[in-house]
Amino acid sequence: MLEPFVSELYSGHLFAGSDEAGRGPLAGDVVAAAVILDPNNPIASLADSKKLSEKKRVALFDEIKEKALAFCIARASVAEIDELNILHASMLAMQRAISGLRVTPEHALIDGNRIPKDLPCPAEAVVKGDDRVEAISAASILAKVERDNEISALAERYPGYGLEKHKGYPTAQHLAALETLGVTPIHRQSFGPVKRIIEKLA
């Protein structure tokens, strides 16, 4: 267990945690969330979304939305990912999530080592923040569950790719389906495996 993060810049309670889901997949939007937790309404078992079972994430998804002082889920589209690159699109999604909170935070803690531009408050980057800051853990859960739900819905529109199983990540099944079925509008054309198939078919 990592040591909880303690900010040297801010010691209040009105701060947002933010994280994203979906940097690595070949398909779908990158989704981000921002959460301001209520210190008087704690949520047990918050942890990095990747370390929780799907059942636990789904239960916490509803609990976070019910108990948080504020939350916002935002995204950057496949077109924005291809235009900006995935890093900048992830930053844009987090900026939208933090700016979209109905309560303006006094401070923001961002998972990772970079801070999005144009935030409504001062911010700090927290490496491994989804393990060290409960508000970032909560944001990671919201972003992950929301994105998984969106990809599962897209799987019905684009059958044959196995999206409901791998959620757009570059598995052997997904790569084989791209070879046989081709590239769809939800695929990120700037990503190497997708780019290579487009070039091969050109």
Considering the entire predicted model, what is its pTM? 0.96
End-to-end CA distance of the chain: 50
> Which strand (E) or helix (H) includes residue 149?
helix 134-157
What pLDDT was estimated at residue 1? 56
φ, ψ at 67 (rounded to 5°): -100, -20
What pLDDT was estimated at residue 9? 94
CA-only gyration radius of the chain, Å:
17
Tokens of 85: 């690159």
What pLDDT was estimated at residue 140? 97
Alpha carbons within 13 angstroms on the beta-carbon side of residue 41 total 11
| CB 145, CB 61: distance < 8 Å | yes
Strands 107-111 and 123-126, sheet pairing: parallel
Residues of the chain with pLDDT under 70: 1
